[in-house]
Amino acid sequence: MPAIVTNHISAVEKSERATEESPFIKWTLITIALGFCILFLVLPLLNVFVQALGKGWAFCWASLSHPDSWSAIRLTLIVAGISVPLNVLFGLAAAWAIAKFKFRGKSILITLIDLPFSVSPVVAGLMFVVLFGLQGFFGQWLDAHNIKIIFAVPGIVLATVFITFPFVARELIPVMQATGTEQEQAALTLGANGWQTFWHVTLPSVKWGLIYGIILCNARAMGEFGAVSVVSGHITGQTDTMPLRVEKLYNEYNAPAAFAVASLLTLLALFTLGIKTLLEWKQAREYRKAVDSR
């Protein structure tokens, strides 16, 4: 009897080994992956905070509370505050249209939504300058009506909206496509109007995708550099967002202050990453609970 048991165990071990690489290869790969992450991600990130606090907490706080930095922080929040809701609206509309209706040019629309991903941010910024700049297409008309877009907040918002355009829609489209329209039809047969159907049925079923899209959209809206840099005009205290402020301080050889602002942006990124991980974990737990309780 014991012999049989031993046999059994060795058989299991063997079958496991059959699909696995040798320990040497396994640990080499793990070391490479981990080492790469530490060298290129963790260390630089830590360095940001080390540099920011290099001259002490007081200096760091002073750099952040400097009126120009403060104005950059405020502008970044305003830009994100406008462009994220706009893209949530757009993303919902586009995802709804693509997932639930059949129409001509659907594939073109899907490609167009991806456009901001494939166009370089600098080119995107230039696009707006060509359109709304003084020498641009609408430039004369805008100037005559005393509307400032380029080198002003509206331009920054426009560029940011363009760059963060795909995030919400991209997250929602697959979720909505997977859900189909039957639940909505069921709500209609039960007497619900369009708004009730959207609010009680559609929105809850895409909740996670939507939240995830908003997080990504917000992170990019706050961190965008290239496109914003082209349209902002870098007017200190007026059209500098946080990423622009970081660059400016750095170019002025004020590295500690630059890193102080940068650390704030980095914190935001880490915070976003944290929420994202938390959401994924919660979602996985809900799923596990659902499967377990079957």
Partner 1 sequence: MVDSLKEVDSRKLTSVSIELKNVTKQFGEATAVNNVSFSVQEGELMALLGPSGGGKTTVLRMIAGLEVPTVGDLFIRGERVNELSVQERNIGFVFQNYALFKSMNVFKNIAFGLKVKKWKRPERKARVAELLTLFGLDGLERRYPHQLSGGQRQRVAIARALAPKPSVLLLDEPFGAVDAKIRQELREWLVTLHQELNVTTIFVTHDQEEALELADRIVIFSRGTLEQVGTPREVYEHPANEFVARFIGVMNVLELEVREGFARLGELQFPAHGQAEGQKLRIGFRPYSVQISSDLNQYIYRAVLRRTFFLGIMLRLELELPSGLVLRARMTKEEYAQQALEDGRDVSFQIREYRILARESGALSPETEFIHKAQPMIAENI
Q: Using CB under 8 A as the criterion, which residues of the chain lie in contact with partner 1 when the complex forms?
A: 179, 182-183, 185-193, 196, 200-201, 204-205, 207, 290, 293-294
Q: Tell me the C-alpha distance between 254 and 90, whole Å.
A: 40
Cα angle value 146/149/154 (rounded, 5°): 120
Looking at beta carbons only, is 104 or 145 nearer to partner 1?
Answer: 104
Looking at beta carbons only, is 190 or 270 nearer to partner 1?
Answer: 190
Q: Which helix (H) or strand (E) holds 240?
A: none
Contact 51, 264 (CB under 8 A): no
In angstroms, the Cα distances linking 236 to 66, 126, 252, 258 are: 12, 21, 13, 14
Looking at beta carbons only, is 183 or 238 nearer to partner 1?
Answer: 183
Least distance from partner 1 to the Cβ atom of residue 99, Å: 15
Least distance from partner 1 to the Cβ atom of residue 88, Å: 19
Contact 181, 104 (CB under 8 A): no
- 169 closest CA partner among 133, 117, 119, 235: 117
Helix/strand/coil for 233? coil
Looking at beta carbons only, is 190 or 278 nearer to partner 1?
Answer: 190
Least distance from partner 1 to the Cβ atom of residue 172, Å: 15
Least distance from partner 1 to the Cβ atom of residue 180, Å: 9
In angstroms, the Cα distances linking 233 to 74, 77, 133, 230, 239 are: 17, 18, 11, 7, 7
Looking at beta carbons only, is 81 or 194 nearer to partner 1?
Answer: 194
Looking at beta carbons only, is 31 or 181 nearer to partner 1?
Answer: 181
Least distance from partner 1 to the Cβ atom of residue 89, Å: 21
DSSP letters for 84-153: HHHHHHHHHHHHHHHHH---TTHHHHHHHHHHHHHS-HHHHHHHHHHHHSTTSTTHHHHHHTT---TTSH
Least distance from partner 1 to the Cβ atom of residue 127, Å: 40
Which residue has tokens 């596990």? Answer: 288
Looking at beta carbons only, is 75 or 187 nearer to partner 1?
Answer: 187
Least distance from partner 1 to the Cβ atom of residue 93, Å: 21
